[in-house]
Amino acid sequence: MPCAGSGSRSGAQLPKQYMPVAGQPLIAHTLQALMQVQGVEAISVVIAPADQLFGSYAPAGFQGIVTPTGGKTRAESVRAGLSALRAHGAADQDWVLVHDAARCLILPEWVQMLIDACKDDDVGGLLAQPVPDTLKQGHDGHSVATVSRQDKWLAQTPQMFRIGLLERALDDAEARGLEVTDEASAVEALGFKPRLVACSADNFKLTYPQDFERAEAIFHMRRFKKSGLHTGA
Least confident range from 6-10, 52-56, 57-61, 122-126: namely 6-10
For residues 96-109, average pLDDT: 98
The structural domains of the chain, ordered by start, are 16-227 (3.90.550.10)
pLDDT band at 13 (very low <50, low <70, confident <90, very high): confident
Residue 145, φ and ψ in degrees, nearest 5: -165, 155
CA 136 to chain centre: 25
Closest CA to 65 of 108, 22, 96, 92: 96
Name the DSSP class of 106: -
Beta carbons of 115 and 39 less than 8 angstroms apart = yes
- Lowest model confidence (mean pLDDT) among 1-15, 28-42, 60-74, 179-193: 1-15
Alpha carbon distance 225, 13 (integer Å):
32
Are 163 and 96 in contact by the 8 Å Cβ rule? The answer is yes
Task: Give the CA count within 13 Å in the CB-facing half-sphere of 7.
Answer: 28
Summarize pLDDT for 183-217 with one digit per residue, the tens: 999 999 999 999 999 999 999 999 999 999 999 99
Task: Tell me the CA distances in angstroms from 102 to 13, 30, 59, 129, one per residue in order.
Answer: 16, 7, 15, 17
Whether omega before 158 lies within 30 degrees of 0, making that bond cis, reads: yes
Per-residue pLDDT of 143-186, as tens digits, reads 999 999 999 999 999 999 999 999 999 999 999 999 999 999 99
Q: Is the pLDDT of residue 230 over 90?
A: no
127-146 pLDDT tens trace: 999 999 999 999 999 999 99
Q: How many CA atoms lie within 13 A of 80 on its CB side?
A: 22
Residue type, 66: V
Q: Which residues of 148-180 are buried (b: 16+ CB within 10 A; e: fewer)?
A: eeeeeeebbbbbbbbbbbbbbbbeebeeeeeeb
pLDDT at 231: 52
